[in-house]
């Protein structure tokens, strides 16, 4: 087995580790919130909180917030539009609606499908490197998703909530790849555009539908979750995506669903069923293979040859 050098961790790894913890712990919090308010209202409150987090980061980072390459080509404008639409509104809305009918621990594990979508899109569409071991890992994660989401009583063979979480994972994979290949715009600006777009649409729909407001405690929790997980966490994730590429960042990010799963089991104290325990070894094995392979590449002598392509 190749040795992995224990040298000083690069900033991209530190940023990704922080983002992974913030995103992972968000799942049980989202379950609490979505059980107490309408999903669209939750999206609007998360947008307000994340916008505050992004603006705080801007105050600390100064001019770097608005500094990017002088000109963005047509390709990067399309990628920016894609991440704003898919990551700013479509993916979070699908995830929040699916959480209303899915246990938090199960949803956390199913979010591993985001890894499958991220790595496959990075390999097939953006031509980032992949190998047979990574392919094996994705098969294991996909198999775990099938077992965890299977419902023989459903016409589709899948529970509606599980299917929704898997679909949201695909959209998050699209979002990750779009963000990873945008270099003309600074991370803070991308994050703020996503927040403004998603929050505005959700807010308009909330007003149009006349959704009632929850208690002050839930509102504060939603704002704080947005501030840390989807504000500061999003910026840290974009920074890591640019330095590492979608495939590598997605591999390390594989830890987020397990953090969410553990937190969910602690918070809700609900013992999962047999499908959960059958699926979790597949998720763990797949995630560990991907993390190890990508980590090994990060420190291998020829790792500079495997860095993602930039426009």
Q: What angle, 0 to 180 degrees and rounded to 10, lies between the N-to-C axes of helices 160-180 and 132-149?
A: 150
Residue pLDDT, tens place only, 225-234: 999 998 899 8
Residue pLDDT, tens place only, 52-108: 998 998 888 765 555 545 566 888 899 999 999 999 999 999 999 999 988 888 888
The DSSP code for 9 is P
Angle, vertex CA 22, rays to CA 19 and CA 27, nearest 5: 125
- How sure is the predictor about 311, in pLDDT bands with cuts at 50, 70 and 90? very low
Greater pLDDT, 255 or 110 = 110
Cα–Cα dist 156/167, whole Å: 14
Q: Which of 225, 228, 242, 113 is CA-nearest to residue 190?
A: 242
Cα–Cα dist 267/263, whole Å: 6
- How sure is the predictor about 221, in pLDDT bands with cuts at 50, 70 and 90? very high
Structure tokens at 81: 């539009």
The pTM score is 0.78
Q: Does 179 have pLDDT greater than 80? A: yes
* Rounded mean pLDDT, 236-253: 75
Cα–Cα dist 259/105, whole Å: 10
Q: Does 36 have pLDDT greater than 90? A: yes
Q: Which of 249, 277, 213 is CA-nearest to residue 19?
A: 249
- Of the chain, the percentage scoring pLDDT greater than 90 comes to 32
What's the pLDDT score for residue 134? Answer: 76
Q: Hey, how many other C-beta atoms are within 10 angstroms of the C-beta on 61?
A: 15
Its sign, for the CA torsion 227, 308, 285, 87, is: positive
Judged by DSSP in three states, 271 sits in coil
Residue pLDDT, tens place only, 140-153: 888 887 787 776 55
Q: Does 44 have pLDDT greater than 90? A: yes
Q: Which residues contact 91 (CB under 8 A, 6 or more apart)?
A: 168, 171, 172, 174, 175
Greater pLDDT, 203 or 69 = 203
Residue pLDDT, tens place only, 275-292: 778 888 888 888 778 767
Judged by DSSP in three states, 150 sits in strand
Judged by DSSP in three states, 158 sits in strand
Structure tokens at 60: 């600390």
Q: Hey, how many other C-beta atoms are within 10 angstroms of the C-beta on 284?
A: 17
Please list, residue by residue across 165-198, b when 16 or more beta carbons sit within 10 angstroms of its beta carbon and e when fewer do: bbbbbbbbbbbbbbbbbbebbbbbbbbbbbbebb
Mean pLDDT of the chain: 81
Q: Does 172 have pLDDT greater than 60? A: yes
The DSSP code for 83 is I
Contact 211, 93 (CB under 8 A): no
Q: Which residues contact 18 (CB under 8 A, 6 or more apart)?
A: 233, 236
Contact 262, 103 (CB under 8 A): no
- How sure is the predictor about 251, in pLDDT bands with cuts at 50, 70 and 90? low
Cα–Cα dist 223/231, whole Å: 10
Residue pLDDT, tens place only, 123-133: 888 887 767 78
Q: Which of 241, 311, 309 is CA-nearest to residue 75?
A: 311
**Measured distance between the N- and C-terminal CA atoms of the chain, rounded to whole angstroms:** 35
What's the pLDDT score for residue 294? Answer: 62
């Amino acid at each position: 087995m190749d040795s992995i050098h224990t040298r000083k961790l690069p900033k991209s790894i530190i940023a990704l580790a922080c983002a992974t913890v913030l995103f992972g712990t968000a799942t049980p919090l989202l379950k609490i919130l979505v059980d107490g308010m309408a999903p669209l209202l939750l999206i609007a409150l998360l947008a307000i909180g994340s916008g505050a987090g992004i603006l705080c980061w801007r105050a600390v980072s100064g001019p770097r917030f608005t500094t990017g390459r002088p000109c963005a080509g047509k390709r990067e404008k399309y990628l920016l539009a894609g991440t704003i639409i898919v990551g700013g509104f479509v993916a979070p809305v699908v995830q929040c609606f699916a959480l209303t009918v899915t246990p938090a621990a199960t949803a956390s594990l199913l979010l591993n499908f985001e890894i499958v979508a991220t790595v496959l899109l990075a390999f097939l569409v953006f031509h980032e490197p992949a190998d047979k071991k990574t392919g094996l890992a994705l098969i294991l994660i996909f198999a775990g998703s099938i077992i965890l989401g299977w419902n023989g009583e459903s016409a589709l063979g899948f529970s509606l909530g599980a299917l929704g979480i898997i679909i949201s994972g695909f959209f998050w994979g699209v979002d990750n790849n779009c963000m990873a290949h945008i270099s003309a715009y600074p991370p803070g600006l991308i994050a703020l555009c996503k927040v403004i777009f998603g929050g505005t649409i959700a807010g308009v729909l909330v007003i149009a539908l006349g959704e009632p407001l929850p208690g002050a405690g839930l509102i504060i929790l939603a704002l704080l979750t947005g501030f840390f997980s989807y504000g500061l966490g999003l910026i840290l994730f974009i920074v890591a995506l640019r330095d590492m590429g979608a495939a590598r960042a997605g591999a390390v990010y594989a830890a987020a669903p397990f953090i969410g799963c553990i937190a969910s089991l602690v918070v809700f104290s609900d013992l999962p069923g047999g499908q959960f325990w059958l699926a979790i070894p597949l998720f763990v094995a797949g995630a560990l293979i991907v993390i190890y392979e990508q980590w090994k590449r990060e420190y291998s002598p020829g790792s500079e040859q495997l860095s993602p392509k930039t426009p």
